[in-house]
Amino acid sequence: MTTNDALARVAEQRERLAERARLPWWFWVLFSVATVGLVGCTLIQDRLPAGVGTWLVVWPSILVYLVAEWLVRRTRGISLSRRTFRDYPSARLPSVLFLVAALVGMFVVMVTAHVRPDIAVVALVVAAPLAVGAMVWVQHAMLADIRTGRVRTP
């Protein structure tokens, strides 16, 4: 095997890993449902008796996310590092964007849900897709790092 053949084989394996690491469409559906539920939970919690909203929205959203991740791990045959920020250099910026979108969205919805529900709905409509979009970006960045061998798993 020549040097170039060996390097081509390495590139081929990285590409195969990236293909396998790509999250399926149903994961994004479940992830979007969970994100909308978590960012907008206060909107529903305020309209239900104390504690009921948590059981109807917050726990099911967390459960949906955990089930989605479990299904992915079970079907994919690989597991990737959970330390996205440390191990995938290209995913740092979108990871920060995801956290900002999700946390700011949750905060604005929480603060305004009781007094200005219209603002809370707008915050939910803006923040949830932004958070999901940032997570899609995270995924693309991770795949790019896998393809170029930039993953820093110790």
Query: What is the nearest approach in angstroms of another protein to the Cβ of residue 144?
Result: 11
Say if residues 126 and 97 touch (Cβ distance below 8 Å). no
Cα distance between residue 104 and residue 38, in whole Å? 12
Question: What is the longest distance spanned by two Cα atoms in the chain?
Answer: 70
Query: What is the nearest approach in angstroms of another protein to the Cβ of residue 26?
Result: 19
Query: What is the nearest approach in angstroms of another protein to the Cβ of residue 72?
Result: 13
Nearer to another protein, 4 or 50 (CB): 4
DSSP string, 14-75: HHHHHHHHSPPHHHHHHHHHHHHHHHTHHHHHTTS-TTHHIIIIIHHHHHHHHHHHHHHHHH
Contacts of 55 (CB under 8 A, 6+ apart): none
Query: What is the nearest approach in angstroms of another protein to the Cβ of residue 140?
Result: 14
Nearer to another protein, 49 or 154 (CB): 154
Query: What is the nearest approach in angstroms of another protein to the Cβ of residue 63?
Result: 21
Q: Using CB atoms within 10 Å of the CB of residue 17, give its burial: 0 to 12 exposed, 13 to 18 middle, 19+ buried.
A: middle
Binding positions for another protein, rule: CB under 8 A: 3-4, 6-7, 9-10, 12-14, 16-18, 20-21, 74, 76-82, 145-146, 149, 151, 153-154
Nearer to another protein, 49 or 153 (CB): 153
Nearer to another protein, 19 or 62 (CB): 19
Nearer to another protein, 10 or 66 (CB): 10
